[in-house]
C-alpha cells in the first residue's frame, strides 16, 4: 500500500518525505485555503513546489462541476507537472470529464466517493484513483472501511484497473484496516501516519535498554 500525505502544508510534506516512505500527496480546496494560498498563480505555484518536493503523484482538485469548466481547469492543472493527477468530483459532468481526460492521457482521481455505485462509475470512466472518504462516513455513523472492502472486491471481480485510494483518514487504525482491506493507497494527515509508530511497550522497552546500556559504560 502506498502512503500519500493529505495536506498542502509544505513543512509536513518535508517531514514525511524525510522519512523516505512518502509516495505522493493529495490536496483539496479546503487544504489549500488553510495554507493561505490565494489566486490562480498562487495555487499553480504551490502545486509546482509540492511536485518538486515529492517523487510521486500529486492530486490537484478542480472546483467546477460543469464539463467545459472542469476540462479547462484540469488541463491547466495537468500542465503544471507530469505528476499532477486531476481530482474530479463524482457528479454527472465529472464522470464525462474523467472519461475525456482518460482519452486525452490525463490521469484523474475521483473524489467525494461515498458509495460502491459511485466507485463503479469512476472505474468505467478510467480514473487512475477512486477516493472513498472513510472518516466522513464514520462521522455519520457508518463504517467507512467496509466501503473500501466492497470497492476492492468489486474492482477485483471486474478486473478494473482504477486504484483504491482510501481518503479522509482520521487515525492509525483506519490506516491498518485499509491496508488489511487491500487499499492500493492510503492518504492521510501527518498525525495518524506518525501515530503508527506509537506503542507503550516500545517506550518501556527503550527506557529499559537505555538504563541497562548505562550499566555497560
Active site residues: 87
- In the chain, beta strands by DSSP E: 2-6, 24-26, 57-61, 84-89, 108-113, 129-132, 163-166, 185-188
Q: Which of 13, 148, 167, 181 binds ligand E4P (CB under 6 A)?
A: 167
Segment interacting with ligand E4P (CB under 6 A) among 43-51, 93-101, 130-138, 191-199: 130-138
Q: Which residues contact 102 (CB under 8 A, 6 or more apart)?
A: 108, 125, 126, 127
Q: Does 119 bind ligand E4P (CB under 6 A)?
A: no
Query: Considering only residues 187-206, where is the footprint of ligand E4P by CB under 6 A?
Result: 187
Segment interacting with ligand E4P (CB under 6 A) among 37-45, 63-71, 75-83, 131-139: 131-139
Residue 216 CB coordination number (10 Å): 5
Residues that bind ligand E4P (rule: CB under 6 A) add up to a total of 11
Residue 48 CB-density burial (10 A; 0-12 exposed, 13-18 middle, 19+ buried):
middle
Q: Does 118 bind ligand E4P (CB under 6 A)?
A: no
Q: Which of 3, 16, 28, 80 binds ligand E4P (CB under 6 A)?
A: 28
Q: Does 6 bind ligand E4P (CB under 6 A)?
A: yes
Q: Which of 168, 181, 186, 193 binds ligand E4P (CB under 6 A)?
A: 168
Q: Which residues contact 110 (CB under 8 A, 6 or more apart)?
A: 87, 88, 89, 90, 94, 98, 118, 119, 121, 122, 125, 127, 129, 130, 131, 162
Q: Does 131 bind ligand E4P (CB under 6 A)?
A: yes
Q: C-beta of 167: minimal distance to ligand E4P in Å?
A: 3
Amino acid at each position: 500500500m502506498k502512503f500519500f500525505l493529505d495536506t498542502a502544508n509544505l513543512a509536513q510534506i518535508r517531514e514525511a518525505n524525510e522519512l523516505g516512505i512518502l509516495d505522493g500527496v493529495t490536496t483539496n480546496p479546503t487544504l489549500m485555503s488553510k495554507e493561505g494560498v490565494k489566486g490562480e498563480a498562487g495555487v499553480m505555484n504551490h502545486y509546482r513546489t509540492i511536485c518538486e518536493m515529492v517523487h510521486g503523484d500529486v492530486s490537484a482538485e478542480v472546483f467546477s462541476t460543469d464539463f467545459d469548466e472542469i476540462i479547462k481547469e484540469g488541463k491547466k492543472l495537468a500542465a503544471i507537472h507530469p505528476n499532477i493527477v486531476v481530482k474530479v468530483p463524482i457528479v454527472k459532468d465529472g464522470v464525462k470529464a474523467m472519461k475525456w481526460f482518460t482519452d486525452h492521457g490525463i490521469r484523474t482521481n475521483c473524489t467525494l466517493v461515498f458509495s460502491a455505485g459511485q466507485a463503479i462509475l469512476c472505474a468505467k470512466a478510467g480514473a487512475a484513483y477512486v477516493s472513498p472518504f472513510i472518516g466522513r462516513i464514520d462521522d455519520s455513523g457508518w463504517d467507512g472501511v467496509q466501503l473500501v472492502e466492497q470497492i476492492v472486491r468489486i474492482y477485483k471481480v471486474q478486473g478494473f484497473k482504477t486504484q483504491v485510494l482510501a481518503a479522509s483518514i482520521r487515525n492509525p487504525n483506519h490506516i491498518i484496516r485499509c491496508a488489511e482491506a487491500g487499499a492500493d493507497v492510503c492518504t492521510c494527515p501527518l498525525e495518524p501516519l506518525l501515530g503508527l509508530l506509537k506503542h507503550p511497550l516500545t517506550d518501556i522497552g527503550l527506557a529499559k535498554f537505555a538504563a541497562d546500556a548505562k550499566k555497560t559504560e
